[in-house]
Amino acid sequence: MGLRDVRRLDLPPARRILLVLVAASAAACGPRPDAAAAGYLAAVRAAEAGLDEALAPLEDRTKAPRPEQARPIVEQAIAARDRVEAIPAPEPLESAWREELVFLNHVIPALGRFGASDGGPAALEELRSVLARGRAHQKRGRRNLPE
């Protein structure tokens, strides 16, 4: 029902105003955020499938990964970023989508630098530090999304 349709209704002016406000509020709300958020999160998880498992040994402080382990994960992270960029994020979820991209934009150069390093303690600490900062962005973006 549009504004012209409301004018045609035989209602007192106060009721017409109320009807216009209710219609405008409903239109401004858009889709139900919980349904949109669940679909968005499922799309992000599918886009990043396998990346968490690939990063786990690099983030695990009980292990000492080698640079050659990071090199193939770079391509996987770039592909994940390309897929996440292609996800249409509804307006209420745009900040979550941006945070997910910031996470991936931390992962890619961190892996590249570590892959090109000698794999020493300083390089490993830098890798883990950058990955942790990236994870903080990812968590911030997902904080209010339904699991």
Q: Identify whether residues 42 and 20 lie together within a single domain.
A: no
**83 backbone dihedrals φ, ψ, rounded to 5°:** -70, -40
Domain assignment present for residue 147? The answer is: no
Q: Identify whether residues 17 and 83 lie together within a single domain.
A: no
Please state, rounded to an integer, the average pLDDT across all residues of the chain: 86
Q: Which parts of the chain have pLDDT scores under 70? A: 1-9, 16, 18-34, 146-147
Residue 91: the pLDDT is 86
Domain limits for position 126:
33-142
Residue 29: the pLDDT is 45
Q: Identify whether residues 101 and 122 lie together within a single domain.
A: yes
Report pTM. Answer: 0.75
Tokens standing for residue 48? 């990043």
CA dist., res. 99 & res. 145, Å (int): 13
- pLDDT tens digits, 5-19: 656 667 777 776 766
